[in-house]
Amino acid sequence: MDSNYIVCHNISDVKSAISYENNSFDVRIESKLPETTKTEKCILGIDEAGRGPVLGPMVYGTSYCSVDNQDILKSLGCADSKVLSELARDEIFDGITKQSEILGWAVHIISPTTISNCSFRRQKCSLNEISHNAAIGLIQRVLDKGVNICEVFVDTVGPPDKYQEKLLSIFPQLKITVSKKADSLFPIVSAASICAKVTRDAALKNWKFIERPGEDIDSNWGSGYPNDPVTKEYLKKNIDPVFGFPSIVRFSWSTAELVLKNNAAQIDWSDEEEDEDKKSLPITSFFGQNNKQVHQKTPFFDDRGLIITTKF
């Protein structure tokens, strides 16, 4: 079994895995492999939770089962996770884990640190690209485990046509459908959405603040979305003037950047190489300006006290 993935059998296992790991890094969790999915034709869904908030991870989820067993998804009540209550999502996820002989799932918890680093590095990686890579990684993971996937359904990020074309170029052997609101159109995507949302909720509730180990940390951060007044107030109250926010915050979000600008110490990061360059004369200074020729004496003339007496 790949050590990058932690096998979990229920929500308690998921919470334990999240609590054990360092939240500054990505975490990957999966169910045990249903043996029937190796031989029977299967469908797979992809969706995410937590794309927009300034707080917490973004979680990508996948769910898969055989074509013949997909009716179980409707009987479990799989629907768009955003229209379900937290209790309903937890109950459905519990039902999914109990159908481990025919239903498989996996999640990729993308940490706020990863999201911020991708935005701040020299060659920036957009949130869309992060999302695409996570989805591709989950599909490849399930294929590598030997699941007989024949059709994939994905909730779009960006233009559906371009995203679908991109996925088909990577997985030409699969039939892939990328669409808007896929989580409300395809039960298999709804199941993936629920897995992602339940995992994100668990991550927030079990967040380890490595900045203040052992301390009780204020968790009244509201919805986590940038336009939430409670979230904005949380950012203002939990900022260090030098080190900024705890690792639960996405530093790269404009809301967080504005709070940093107004409440943190402003630091000028000087570059020694740039300072040295400023002292150096530009190469253009050695050429004449305004078509006037500039004559500069060499050390040979200076050493011998020679001067120019004739101008040509």
Could you tell me which residues come within 8 angstroms of residue 269 by beta carbon, excluding any fewer than 6 positions away? none
Length of the chain: 312
CA-based torsion, 31, 9, 6, 200: positive or negative: positive
User: Distance (Å, rounded) from C-alpha 62 to C-alpha 50?
Assistant: 15
pLDDT of residue 1: 40
Shared domain check, 113 and 165: yes
Q: Please list the residues that pair with 109 across neighbouring strands.
A: 27, 59
Judge if 72 and 172 occupy the same domain: yes
In a domain, 67, yes or no: yes
Query: Could you read off the pLDDT tens digit of each residue along the chain, which spans 312 residues?
Result: 445 899 999 999 999 988 887 788 999 999 999 999 999 999 999 999 999 999 999 999 999 999 999 999 999 999 877 788 999 999 999 999 999 999 999 999 999 999 999 988 788 889 999 999 999 999 999 999 999 999 999 999 999 999 999 999 999 999 999 999 999 999 999 999 999 999 999 999 888 887 776 666 778 898 899 999 999 999 998 888 888 888 899 988 988 988 888 888 877 766 655 555 555 666 555 555 555 555 566 676 666 667 666 655
State which of 219, 247, 263 marks the end of a domain: 263
Rounded to the nearest angstrom, the gap between the alpha carbon of residue 135 and the centroid of all alpha carbons in its chain is: 11
**Overall domain count for the chain:** 2
- Compute and round to an integer the Cα radius of gyration of the chain: 28
Give first-to-last CA distance, the chain, whole Å: 84
Token duo for residue 45: 């869904």
Dist. CA 56–CA 109, nearest whole Å: 10
Residue keyed to tokens 């190796």? 38
Cα–Cα nearest to 72, from 59, 81, 63: 63
Any known ligand binding at 274? no
Domain containing 256 equals 229-263
Domain shared by 193 and 238, yes or no: no
At 284 the pLDDT is: 56
Q: What is the DSSP string of 31-83?
A: PPPPGGGGTS-EEEEEEEE-SS-SBS-EEEEEEEEEGGGTHHHHHHT---GGG
In a domain, 211, yes or no: no
CA atoms within 13 A on the CB side of 259: 25
Residue 301 forms part of a structural domain:
no
Which tokens belong to 133? 């890579």
Specify whether 51 is located in the same domain as 161.
Answer: yes
The CATH code of the domain that includes 137 is: 3.30.420.10
Pair (53, 187) in one structural domain: yes
Q: Is 257 annotated as a binding residue?
A: no
For residues 158 and 235, membership in a common domain is answered with: no
The C-alpha atoms of residue 158 and residue 128 are separated, in whole angstroms, by 7
Separation CA 262–CA 89 (nearest Å)? 39
Give me 31's structure tokens.
Answer: 């169910």
pLDDT at residue 180 in the model:
95
CB-based contact 29:175 (threshold 8 Å): no
Q: What is the pLDDT of residue 111?
A: 95
Is the residue at 306 inside a domain?
no
Tokens of 207: 């967040």
Same domain for 113 and 240, yes or no, is no
CB 187 within 8 A of CB 63: no
The answer to the question of residue 224 being in a domain is: no
pTM of the prediction? Answer: 0.82
CB burial of residue 78 (10 Å; 0-12, 13-18, 19+):
buried
CA distance 156 to 53: 18
148's tokens: 């007989």
| Residue written as token pair 């500054």 | 24
| 218 labeled part of a ligand binding site | no
